A and B are shown apart, each in its own frame.
Chain A
Amino acid sequence: MSAPSNSIKGRAFGDRMLLALVILLSIIMIAPVLWVIGLSLKENAELMANPNSVFHAPYTLKNYINTIGTSSVFRWVLNSIIVSGGLTLGTLILSSLAGYGFARLNFPGRNILFVIVLFGLAVPEQAVLVARHQIFSMLKFHNTYHGLILPGLSASFGVFLMTQYFRAIPKELDEAAMLDNASRFKIFWKVLLPLTVPAQATLGIFTFLGAWNDYFWPLISATKKDMFTLTVGMASTQTNFAQSEGIGFLMAQAVFAGAPILIIYLFFQKYIVTAVSGAAVR
């Protein structure tokens, strides 16, 4: 009888060790963020004198007021909304049409075209960046909204996702509608599209998040301060880390930029996790 009780004891000890490790990892996840929030609430001079002053009053909202009042943050947020929103809308339209086309309709060369589109999934952005930048220079697309939106419209992932989703819908639905003499577009629009709302939500959130966080393309395409997206704009202010308005100011900017996306994440967590893991596995 001693063996089972031993193993239960061992199990409890093991559980505690695992719990301790998970808690330690959680602290590592949270502590840097709390530190940033703490610093954002402090006067710069006080921080420089003693970093431990984070742990006690006085706290101030001055850094946030400066962020909202003096920097171009609002302009950058607006740019990010336009670019991410435009790209999301465009991706949903193009992917839904193409997904329906590839899943349901037949046309000459369909299978080979679909394979080529799938191949697009394997092409990393860096392989086309240099040439794309030169083409956009010739077309004078840099420092414009369409210059920031267009490259994302060539991504295959949405088409792949929507094709899979349309294929999973029973064909009998189309055939029933066809007997009622509905046109191809009407079937797509009235019968099938309403059924794809979950996939639209997943793809939409994934695209929006990706565009919002994109750094490389906006960095090389939007070189004028007025056309910066939030990601690039924030990066441009952190280059002069020490000299600028102070650590607290930078931290307030980080909180200002990060909080909305974290709140959106908390609301749409299920879709975001599905989208990100789905995109990775393909």
Chain B
Amino acid sequence: MADQMTIRETAAPAVGVRVPSANIYAPQWRNFVFVAPFLFFFTTLLILPLFWGMWLSVHKADTFSTGRFVGLDNYVRLVHDKVFLQSVWNTFYFVLLTVPALALIGLFLALCLNRRTRTAAVLRTLFFSSSVLSVTIVTLIWRIVYIPNVGLLSTIYGWFGATAPAFISDPSLAMIGIAIATIWWCIGLPMMLFLSALQQIPQDIYEAAALDNANRWQTLRSITLPSIKRTFILVIIIQIVLQFQLFGQAWLMTRGGPNNLTKPIVLYIYDTAFRRWDLGMGAAASEMLFVLILIAAMAQYLVTRNKGDQA
């Protein structure tokens, strides 16, 4: 640092132009030019719609008319709408089905595949590969697994002379069917997050443990798991935020049925705003989803910030 200071001080007079380093970083309006293009799109396509949506949620509006002010009427109608309450429950149920499974299976895979062998590398590639597919392909694949007659599941059950569970049409199984397809689709991310956390644990701790004759279970319990505790919380929160936004799988596999039992909040918003064209109520529902997700995002911010403090 001292060297650089002297270089700068001696170089500046030599060029003959004074470049006082304090002034290079002084605020200047023309520097704004670099961030202006992005801020234009950010303001018009994110900030404006965000407030526009809040405004819509207190209006009775359809696509082309801005509607009339109805106060909190849309929200009152929402909390009295059985279908909306069902969709909130469905979303929580879906989160409960998928998030713990994703975290635990992801952790298990990461622990098993955290080694430098070729097989482990191939398996890591395999388990992440489904994550790059679109929701359309994933649902197509899983519908063909579940479908009666030519489905994979019914074929396998057929070998044993049994009837496969009706994962899409049975009311008590439909959401579980969607959850299984979702876990299959999303398992790559938690696995990768755990893997990168595992790789950050210093190797010498393990060497010390080996010298102390610690067995594998002890090592796992007293070194590995405590070291990745924060990653575990982070994975849980990230998945809660992601799975809260369930839409494509439910829409494409079950259309929210049977009896709205697999209709999540986002599908309710889609139905209300873009099929019944009740934009005000759709906006109100999306504000409620926004608050729920914001709470989870705040938790994520707090967890990641703590990480910075400790580092």
A18-B112, A32-B144 are contacts. A95–B38 as well, Cβ < 8 Å?
yes
Q: Does B69 contact A (CB under 8 A)?
A: no
Q: Does B102 contact A (CB under 8 A)?
A: no
- Whether the pair B149, A238 counts as a contact (CB closer than 8 A) is no
B293 to chain A: which residues have CB within 8 Å?
Answer: 122, 124, 127
- Whether the pair A108, B46 counts as a contact (CB closer than 8 A) is no
Question: Per-residue 0/1 for B16-52: is the Cβ within 8 Å of any A Cβ (1 yes, 0 no)?
Answer: 0101010011111111111101110110111111101
Q: Does B192 contact A (CB under 8 A)?
A: yes
Q: Does A133 contact B (CB under 8 A)?
A: yes
- Whether the pair A97, B63 counts as a contact (CB closer than 8 A) is no
Interface segment among B7-15, B76-84, B92-100, B171-179: the answer is B7-15
A209-B132, A273-B128 are contacts. A126–B42 as well, Cβ < 8 Å?
no
- Whether the pair A131, B52 counts as a contact (CB closer than 8 A) is yes
- Whether the pair B34, A129 counts as a contact (CB closer than 8 A) is no
Which residue of B is nearest A110, CB measured? B27
A188 to chain B: which residues have CB within 8 Å?
Answer: 34
Number of residues from B at the complex interface, CB < 8 A: 106
- Contacting residues of chain A (90-112) with chain B, CB-CB under 8 angstroms: 93-95, 97-98, 100-102, 105-108, 110
Number of residues from A at the complex interface, CB < 8 A: 103
Which residue of A is nearest B113, CB measured? A22
Partner of B234, one of A93, A130, A253, A281: A281
Chain B contact surface mostly: helix
- Whether the pair A25, B56 counts as a contact (CB closer than 8 A) is no
- Whether the pair B41, A108 counts as a contact (CB closer than 8 A) is no
Q: Does A257 contact B (CB under 8 A)?
A: yes
Q: How far is the CA of A130 from the CA of B42 in the complex (A)?
A: 17
Q: Does A269 contact B (CB under 8 A)?
A: yes
A102-B35, A113-B35, A247-B150 are contacts. A32–B145 as well, Cβ < 8 Å?
yes
- Whether the pair A238, B304 counts as a contact (CB closer than 8 A) is no
> Separation in Å of the B33 CB from the closest CB of chain A?
8
Q: Does A231 contact B (CB under 8 A)?
A: yes
A95-B38, A120-B42, A273-B192 are contacts. A36–B123 as well, Cβ < 8 Å?
no
* B residues in contact (CB < 8 Å) with A: 4, 8, 11-12, 15, 17, 19, 21, 24-35, 37-39, 41-42, 44-50, 52-53, 55-56, 61, 63-64, 105, 108-109, 112-113, 123, 125-137, 139-145, 147, 149-152, 154-155, 158, 184, 188-189, 192-193, 196, 215-216, 234, 238, 241, 245, 247-248, 252, 266, 269-270, 273-274, 279, 282-283, 286-287, 289-290, 293-294, 297-298, 301, 304
Known: A122-B294, A258-B134, A281-B304. 7 other contacts (CB 8 A): A14-B216, A123-B50, A128-B53, A216-B270, A220-B270, A238-B139, A269-B128
* A residues in contact (CB < 8 Å) with B: 7, 11, 14, 18, 21-22, 25-26, 28-33, 35-36, 39, 47-48, 51-52, 54, 93-95, 97-98, 100-102, 105-108, 110, 113, 116-117, 120-135, 137-138, 150-151, 153-156, 159, 172, 175, 178-179, 181, 184, 188, 209, 212-213, 215-216, 220, 230-232, 234-235, 238, 241, 247, 250-251, 253-254, 257-258, 261-262, 264-266, 269, 272-273, 276-277, 280-282
| Sampled A-B contacts (10; CB under 8 Å) | A51-B149, A97-B38, A122-B293, A123-B50, A134-B61, A159-B38, A238-B139, A262-B132, A280-B189, A280-B238
